[in-house]
Amino acid sequence: METEDKPPARVTTAQSRELGQELRQARKRGGLRGAAFCDELEWSTAKLSKLEKGWRGTSDWEIGTFLGKSGADKATRERVMRLAQEPDIGYFVRRHTGITSDGLLCMVMHQRSALTLTSYDTMVIPGLLQSVGYARALLETTGAHDFVDDVMSERLDRQEHLRSQEGARSTFYLHEAALRLVVGGSRTMHDQMMRLAFMCKWPHVTLRVVPFTAPGHPALRYPSALMTFTRHAKPVAYAESDLTTVFLEEEGALAFYRDKHAVLDGLALSEEESHDVFTHWANVYDDEEGRGRATSG
């Protein structure tokens, strides 16, 4: 059985970590414990650990052997081999498996392991901040009723992690347009605004509103997010479209997003002012709901 030296000094990438997690999940689904699995492959436990954590690569032949021993199905084998053969050019694209990015392994695993998360959204409340009613109303407008429960279960789990001591130190910039765009009606919007006001008190979470009165700037055009990790893992930026999410690790792209978020920091209201904006709109939507009930009565 081969032996391993001390862990390499190289930095892991989002692609190597995603590949490692895919392999780990395939082994776990096969019901295989690490030590016994290593004995079958004649690997050291250190080699398995490094591979599953993204610290080292291996040959396509060894990955194929790994998947075969794990009893992985065809879809898993094809997906993992695509990841293993994907060139590392500083960015990569993942197509959404459903109607949102919630099901992307790369997204979920990195949000859970991030030390910091900085996010900007324009027209809707970001998924990690959405109330159940808001998220359900937004998802159901797409007609994807069959996916709503699964998406909500995963999203609530991620929100609880964000709230915990292990959650990333997170800053969310929300354009005021997202607060004014009505999703699901006045009651839903009232509850969403109250949730945002409540979340302002969460440890490690900062919410900042970019008001309509802020001067125009190119940084306001598109949503974005940037995550940082331990010193052994590269930062990762990502940007979503309707059907795909692009993940970026190239230094120029990371510098661009840092500069973008610095601009947003200068344009956004303070935490206290943002909290007041949330409560203001909660009251507005509550009044609208009350007038609607009075009219219908």
pLDDT digits (tens, 9 = 90+) for 188-199: 999 999 999 999
Q: Which residue has the higher pLDDT, 221 or 34?
A: 221
DSSP string, 258-295: HHHHHHHHHHSPPHHHHHHHHHHHHHHHHHHHHHHHHH
Is the pLDDT score of 156 beyond 80?
Answer: yes
User: Long-range contacts made by residues 213-217, C-beta under 8 angstroms, separation at least 24?
Assistant: 214/267, 214/268, 215/267, 217/263, 217/267
140-169 burial, b at 16+ Cβ within 10 Å, e below that, comes to eeeeeeebbeebbeebeebbeebeeeebbe
pLDDT digits (tens, 9 = 90+) for 240-260: 988 899 999 999 999 999 999
Please state, in angstroms and rounded to a whole number, the distance separating the CA atoms of residues 35 and 161: 30
pLDDT at 251: 95
Please state, in angstroms and rounded to a whole number, the distance separating the CA atoms of residues 239 and 244: 9
DSSP string, 250-268: -HHHHHHHHHHHHHHHHHS
Write down the pTM of the prediction.
Answer: 0.86
Is the pLDDT score of 2 beyond 60?
Answer: no
Domains observed in the chain: 14-85 (1.10.260.40), 91-296 (3.30.870)
| Both structure tokens of 208 | 């900042």
C-beta separation of 197 from 278 below 8 A: yes
C-beta separation of 159 from 128 below 8 A: yes
C-beta separation of 11 from 232 below 8 A: yes
CA pseudo-torsion sign 251, 257, 263, 268: negative
